[in-house]
Amino acid sequence: MTADTMTRPVNLILLGPPGAGKGTQARMLEDAFGLVQLSTGDLLRGAVNAGTPAGLAAKSVMEKGELVSDEIVLAVLEERLQQPDVAAGTILDGFPRTAAQAEALDGLLAARNQQIDAVISLEVDDDAMVARVSGRYTCADCGEGYHDEFKQPATAGVCDKCQGSSFKRRPDDNAETVRTRLSAYHAQTAPLIEYYNARGTLSKVAAMGAIDDIAKALGKIVSHLTGA
C-alpha cells in the first residue's frame, strides 16, 4: 500500500541527534511508502538561501549549532503543511525539538483532523556522530545524502539518484559545531523521548548498524501503520 491507497494520513516523527540517520532514513521511507519528508533543517536552509526574514534570523543561530527559535521554526513548518502534497502523511525529520514545538505540533495536526501515529527514536552513540556528520555531503541537485566513508555513490562523482555531478557540504558540519548540536539535542530534544513514551507512541530502534538494516527495521514499523 502506498500513500495513494492509504485510508488516512500517517504522520511519523524521527527523533535522534545530529548524524543519527534521520534524513537518510526519511528519504528511504519516502521512496518506499510515499510519505513526504518534512525536514525543518532543510526548510530553514531554504529560508537562509532565499534570504527571507526567517532565514536571516536563523542563519547565525544555525552556524553556531544552536536551536532556532520555536516561533521561526513553527512559522516555516506551518507554511509547508499548507501545501497539498503533505495531505497523505509526513515523516517529520528534526521536528519537534522542544516541548513547545511538540505541543504546537499536536495543535497543527488536530486542526487537520490528524495525529502523530508513531515516534521513532534512532538510538546511536554520540562518539560516532562527529565522524558521521563531518564526512557527510549531498547531491546539489536532488539532495541525496552521501558520506566520505560510509555511503559513497556507485560511480565516483555521480549521484546514484539523479546522475548529477555537483555535491555540497553544510557549513555547520564541522566537529566543533556538531558538539554544540549534540549538547542542544541532549538538553532540549532528548526529553521528548519520555514525552512520547508516556503517550505510548514511541519505538526505539538501534541505529548504529548498516543503513539498509536500519531501513528494514523502520519499514516494519511503518508497514504496520500503513497496512502495507
Binding residues vs ligand AP5 (CB under 6 A) = 16, 18-24, 39-41, 44, 61-62, 65-68, 73, 94-95, 97, 101, 132-133, 135-136, 145-147, 150-151, 181, 207, 211, 214
The Cα 116–Cα 101 span in angstroms is 13
Q: Which residue is nearest to ligand AP5 (CB)?
A: 41
Pull the grid cell for residue 195. 514525552
Query: Looking at 169, 199, 204, 216, which residue is catalytic?
Result: 169
The Cα 140–Cα 168 span in angstroms is 6
Q: CB burial class (10 A; 0-12, 13-18, 19+) of residue 71?
A: exposed
Per the annotation, the verdict on 169 as an active-site residue is yes
Query: Looking at 27, 80, 97, 132, which residue is catalytic?
Result: 97
CB closer to ligand AP5 out of 9 and 41: 41
- For the bound state, the minimum distance from the C-beta of residue 138 to ligand AP5, rounded and expressed in Å, comes to 8
Number of Cβ within 10 Å of residue 20's Cβ equals: 25
Q: What angle do CA 199, 10, 110 make, to 5 degrees?
A: 65
Residue 219 backbone phi and psi in degrees, to 5: -60, -40
The Cα 53–Cα 47 span in angstroms is 8
Query: Looking at 22, 45, 80, 132, which residue is catalytic?
Result: 22
**Listed residue (11, 56, 32, 9) closest to 214, CA to CA:** 32
**CA 74 to centroid of chain Cα atoms:** 15
Per the annotation, the verdict on 179 as an active-site residue is no
CB closer to ligand AP5 out of 88 and 184: 184
Per the annotation, the verdict on 181 as an active-site residue is yes
CB closer to ligand AP5 out of 8 and 186: 186
- For the bound state, the minimum distance from the C-beta of residue 84 to ligand AP5, rounded and expressed in Å, comes to 23
Per the annotation, the verdict on 216 as an active-site residue is no
- For the bound state, the minimum distance from the C-beta of residue 194 to ligand AP5, rounded and expressed in Å, comes to 18
CB closer to ligand AP5 out of 6 and 80: 80
Write out the catalytic residue numbers: 22, 97, 136, 169, 181
